[in-house]
Amino acid sequence: MTELTSMNRRDLQAKATHLDERYHAFKAQRLALDMTRGKPCAEQLDLSLGLLDCLRHNDYRAADGSDCRNYGGLEGLPEARQLFADFLEVDPSEVIVGGNSSLTMMHDTISQALLRGMPGGSGPWRTLPAVKFVCPSPGYDRHFAICQHLGIDMITVDMTAEGPDMEQVERLVAGDESLKGIWCVPKYSNPTGITFSEAVVERLARMRTAAPDFRILWDNAYTVHHLTDTPDRLANLLAAAKAAGNPDRVLLFGSTSKISFAGAGLAAMAGSVANIRHIKAGLAIQTIGPDKLNQLRHVRFFRDMAGIETHMQKHAAILRPKFATVEDVLTRELGGTGVATWSRPRGGYFISLDTLDGCAKAVVAMAADAGVHLTHAGATFPYGRDPRDRNIRLAPSMPSPNDIRQAMELVSVCIQRVSVAKLLTN
Amino acid sequence: MTELTSMNRRDLQAKATHLDERYHAFKAQRLALDMTRGKPCAEQLDLSLGLLDCLRHNDYRAADGSDCRNYGGLEGLPEARQLFADFLEVDPSEVIVGGNSSLTMMHDTISQALLRGMPGGSGPWRTLPAVKFVCPSPGYDRHFAICQHLGIDMITVDMTAEGPDMEQVERLVAGDESLKGIWCVPKYSNPTGITFSEAVVERLARMRTAAPDFRILWDNAYTVHHLTDTPDRLANLLAAAKAAGNPDRVLLFGSTSKISFAGAGLAAMAGSVANIRHIKAGLAIQTIGPDKLNQLRHVRFFRDMAGIETHMQKHAAILRPKFATVEDVLTRELGGTGVATWSRPRGGYFISLDTLDGCAKAVVAMAADAGVHLTHAGATFPYGRDPRDRNIRLAPSMPSPNDIRQAMELVSVCIQRVSVAKLLTN
């Protein structure tokens, strides 16, 4: 395919006419397709239907004999803690298993830090003149929303193929004690799909921070969500932080939201003994305990990490063709045009696409006008503002492969049309 | 029985010797009984075992066809909102159904008020020089713990047989704009068992508050938890507040913790449209939605309020003999002694017992030494400090009637022995 970026004006105008025809043909189909969120499809949810049958009226006791129907057990069932200890590669004593949402655990952790402080710090963050977080971007919009909602300033740093740009991160956190945290989705990252390299993990664990109570919020949301048979390996951040003498720097999060049921799974967090003691002190005020029956259900259904790994192969079998469809259409429609680049993730839920600078918003709006809904442009950056207006997050899990094909063809037309318009006005 | 308070020293000394003998006989039995918390017994939990069987692998859709396994539905399933609307006597649009803990909803509501403010107010409460709550006492220790944990000052007012002493409440809230809320357990109150009178509800709805964003936290935890066949009636606070022109003053809470499973039930909150909009804006940042499968389970199992009312009669049949045992032993052992008074609740989970001033801590310690554990003395007051050191909360739901008999006999001996010691030193 000819690079649009090297076409002359007449060829560009001819291209525009052709693209307009294609666009109007799509519009006539009155599509209604949604690729906005990383939401599992019904076929994926069906994989866990056994969860609905696996507890019965004579099965409600944990291994230690405790009655999972009643109050108590703030840190979760021992067998659920064991499962998540294997999942997060920590000791069971370092794990708290909660309700159905790891986002809630992250939000509450930061709320409590604002209201009560963090171990190692000098009191509630709310009493400080400013609280800031480092936000590698593009990143996860719901992380950024928590900061914005709670009045935490966000400092953007670049994402590279190995993780956050550590030169930027190290300089920032060493020089500013109001920087209290960094958001990370370290494996099959949202949205770029990369896995942090061992060197990046090591530097995060070792770096000097001006704030003594600095925290890495390690949202390991996609740790077993492989799309290939040769999974990425992520270095163990908590082990690295302990070895570096910074055991309290790290808070790990995970969930089964994209393993069992998105809305009725389990979430867990992990960290050093000092962190877990602090979190439990807050939880003791907030609740009398999590839903232990749902924890027992998950333990009965998955049994152990081997059970989860086997289960994830079934998810991959459903998701792979969907990701392949996106890749096929983008390659066919946009390969060699010079107006878009995109990720080829080895796991996770997203494809990250970059247009020419200044085109993403127009592309998303144009696709929406023709009935294809994408995550709004800018969402992957703090405050919803992509400084180069070029990043678009594609979430192919929910629609069928056929719908994905249609949607991506339309998106490709929109990208070319917006790019042509930009090139014509240059 | 002779009043201990009118005995002469010699009779008191003889009484002391006799009580010591009884106490040591109890101690020799090495009892291990727990009456500390309002925790349902296994027989009560068995009433809801059908919850474990009522969803199956072919039943996971709500009435509107939505898939309860997936993300979404921030305010809860429509049919669950309808159920709690009937439960809390409000409109479904005024309800949010959450996870397994109403305590969490209360804690989060106050956390959010501190961090973001409340509708009608002038910003986050955390920016104010002081935030205070009115705490009718004796009251629920976990309410007070939330305030203490979050740095909210507590102002104690007296509980009467009709609810909080409204003279005190009205004077306080009219004169101090840092008073932002009041805790209420309005029906079969924890621990005194009383139900707020219509006049008290009306005055709470109408009273003038210096703070425009003052909130009544109406923890209607025991609304269907009757112990008699002629239930108390509680006036509708939200309706009264609307009629008085104060629709946003009220936040209602309820749960099925003591209806279905204590640890795996449903919690809900309700309030005006402005309040619900505000709460939902916070929830949208905190979670992608509640566990809708557990909501569907409850809707399937209970169907409607009539289903809940019928179910509660079975709870009452289990609890009535336990409450009767406490009453019987206390009457037999302490009636006419002049050293204790206690409540005769018509519902709820507690009996509130008052000793002579200055005796409660010693009684609880003496009972614990003989293996009977009561809620620690002072717990029913802010900061765990009962100014008269006389209130003891008894929670008879968990132990068997026979264990309750033993425990209450021992407690009665302890009360008399501590009272005699006090009378002898006067």
Do the domain assignments include residue A132? yes
Residues of A in contact with B57 (CB under 8 A): 49-50, 52-53
Residues of B in contact with A100 (CB under 8 A): 99, 287, 290-291
Do A33 and A80 lie in one domain? The reply is no
Do the domain assignments include residue B117? yes
CATH number, domain with residue B69: 3.40.640.10
Do the domain assignments include residue B56? no
Chain B residue with minimum CA distance to A290:
B263
Per residue in A203-260, pLDDT (tens digit) is 999 999 999 999 999 999 999 999 999 999 999 999 999 999 999 999 999 999 999 9
Domain residues for the domain of A197 are 61-303
Do B288 and B313 lie in one domain? The reply is no
Percent of chain A whose pLDDT exceeds 70: 100
Per residue in B19-36, pLDDT (tens digit) is 999 999 999 999 999 999
Per-residue b or e along B207-231, where b marks 16 or more CB atoms closer than 10 Å to that residue's CB: bebebebbbbbbbbbbbbbbbeeeb
Per the prediction, chain B carries an average pLDDT of: 97
- Residues in CB range of B301: below 8 A, 6 or more apart: B48, B50, B51, B54, B260, B307
Do the domain assignments include residue A356? yes
Do the domain assignments include residue A39? yes
From A196's Cα to the closest Cα of chain B, the distance in A is 26
- Chain A, 117 to 146: residues with Cβ < 8 Å from chain B are 126, 142, 145-146
Neighbours of B424 (CB within 10 A): 13
Residue B1 pLDDT level (bands cut at 50, 70, 90): low
pTM comes to 0.96
What's the rounded mean pLDDT across residues B336-363? 97
- Residues in CB range of B399: below 8 A, 6 or more apart: B33, B34, B35, B41, B322, B407
Do B172 and B298 lie in one domain? The reply is yes
pLDDT at residue B124, rounded to an integer: 96
Do A272 and A403 lie in one domain? The reply is no
Closest by Cβ to A287, choosing from B40, B104, B291: B104
How far apart CA B315 and CA B228 sit, in angstroms, is: 11
Per residue in B266-298, pLDDT (tens digit) is 999 999 999 999 999 999 999 999 999 999 999
- Chain A, 31 to 50: residues with Cβ < 8 Å from chain B are 37, 39-40, 42, 45, 48-50
Closest by Cβ to B115, choosing from A101, A114, A288: A114
CATH number, domain with residue A350: 3.90.1150.10
pLDDT at residue B134, rounded to an integer: 98
Domain count, chain B: 2
Judged by CB atoms closer than 8 Å, whether chains meet at B55 and A50 is answered as no
Closest by Cβ to A291, choosing from B68, B107, B291: B291
Do the domain assignments include residue B49? no
Strands B351-355 and B391-394: antiparallel
Per residue in B39-92, pLDDT (tens digit) is 999 999 999 999 998 888 888 999 999 999 999 999 999 999 999 999 999 999
Percent of chain A whose pLDDT exceeds 90: 97
Question: Residues A315, A226: contact at Cβ < 8 Å?
Answer: no
Cis omega (within 30 of 0) on the bond before B40? Answer: no
Do B127 and B257 lie in one domain? The reply is yes
Judged by CB atoms closer than 8 Å, whether chains meet at A100 and B73 is answered as no
3-state SS class at B340: strand
Per residue in A254-266, pLDDT (tens digit) is 999 999 999 999 9
Do the domain assignments include residue B230? yes
Do A226 and A105 lie in one domain? The reply is yes
Kindly list the distances between the CA atom of residue B211 and the CA atoms of A227, B71, B125, B277, in Å, as whole numbers in the listed order.
Answer: 56, 38, 11, 20
Do B272 and B349 lie in one domain? The reply is no
Judged by CB atoms closer than 8 Å, whether chains meet at A68 and B263 is answered as yes
- Which of residues B303, B331, B364 is at a domain's end? B303
- Which of residues B286, B303, B320 is at a domain's end? B303
- Please give the ipTM for the structure prediction: 0.96
Do A252 and A349 lie in one domain? The reply is no
Do the domain assignments include residue A269? yes
Per residue in A38-82, pLDDT (tens digit) is 999 999 999 999 999 888 888 899 999 999 999 999 999 999 999
From B138's Cα to the closest Cα of chain A, the distance in A is 19
Residue A191 pLDDT level (bands cut at 50, 70, 90): very high
Do B400 and B289 lie in one domain? The reply is no
Do A97 and A211 lie in one domain? The reply is yes
Judged by CB atoms closer than 8 Å, whether chains meet at B68 and A263 is answered as yes
pLDDT at residue A55, rounded to an integer: 87
Judged by CB atoms closer than 8 Å, whether chains meet at A150 and B289 is answered as no
Residue that is written with structure tokens 């009884």 in the block: B22
First to last CA, chain A: 22
pLDDT at residue B394, rounded to an integer: 97
Res. A19: pLDDT tops 80 = yes
Do B278 and B331 lie in one domain? The reply is no
- Residues in CB range of B159: below 8 A, 6 or more apart: B136, B137, B138, B139, B165, B189, B192, B194
Residues of B in contact with A294 (CB under 8 A): 264, 291, 294
Residues of A in contact with B60 (CB under 8 A): 49, 52
Per the prediction, chain A carries an average pLDDT of: 97
- Chain B, 385 to 414: residues with Cβ < 8 Å from chain A are none
- Residues in CB range of A363: below 8 A, 6 or more apart: A355, A377, A392, A411, A414, A415, A418
Residue A357 pLDDT level (bands cut at 50, 70, 90): very high
Residues of A in contact with B294 (CB under 8 A): 264, 291, 294
Res. B218: pLDDT tops 80 = yes
- Which of residues A261, A279, A303 is at a domain's end? A303
Q: Does A331 touch chain B (CB under 8 A)?
A: no
Do A377 and A296 lie in one domain? The reply is no
Per residue in A363-384, pLDDT (tens digit) is 999 999 999 999 999 999 999 9
Comparing C-alpha atoms, which of A147, A157, A270 is closest to residue A204?
A157
**Which site among B36, B56, B104 would you substitute to test the A interface, given the most A Cβ atoms closer than 10 Å to its Cβ?**
B104
Chain B residue with minimum CA distance to A100:
B291
